[in-house]
Amino acid sequence: MESDWRSDALKEIGALKRPWIEKYAWSPCVDTANPNHIDLYIRLSRPDAGDRPRKVFVLRLRYEPDFRTAGRREQFVNAEDWTKEGVEYWPTGVGGILPDRNPPVICLEGTCGFHSDLHRDRDGRRANLNKLLLEIQRCLSQ
């Protein structure tokens, strides 16, 4: 059934671990308005040098009907205006996050960049959203 992917995506998003959401201040936000995709926005932060405040990034993970095998389509967006996307909003110098590729990708299991671009032989059905977000947060914190 066509809408099964939507219920699977919403179930996965609903299973985000509350302690991690609170610990990392992810502030997940779900947009289901478009019938062709579901967008999950996650606020991520990275320590900055010196006394400056933490750098904030907003990651959009887009769920489309093939997300189970192709992965979630990744894009960093403007932290203040989520309608603006582009390489200028991607973190730089972070392992696993490759803004210089065309298109930019996150090379971590569970993203479209990983399963559909870099490692097409790896099945995306094993990818876990909680694990993916923790791994991205770990990469940003190093």
DSSP classification of residue 124: G
Residue 121 is predicted with a pLDDT of 64
Environment class of 97 (CB within 10 Å of its CB; exposed 0-12, middle 13-18, buried 19+): buried
Tens of pLDDT, residue by residue over 69-118, are 777 889 999 999 999 999 999 999 888 899 998 889 888 877 876 646 65
Residue 11 is predicted with a pLDDT of 96
Query: Is 66 within 8 Å of 35 (Cβ atoms)?
Result: no
- The 10 Å Cβ neighbour count of residue 99 is 18
Tens of pLDDT, residue by residue over 118-129, are 555 665 556 689
Q: Which domains does the chain have, with CATH numbers?
A: 4-141 (3.10.110)
Tens of pLDDT, residue by residue over 2-31, are 569 999 999 999 999 999 999 999 999 999
Sheet containing strand 73-77, edge to edge, reads: 29-31, 38-46, 55-63, 73-77
Tens of pLDDT, residue by residue over 53-68, are 778 999 999 999 988 8
pLDDT top residue among 36 and 117: 36
Residue 91 is predicted with a pLDDT of 93
- The 10 Å Cβ neighbour count of residue 122 is 15
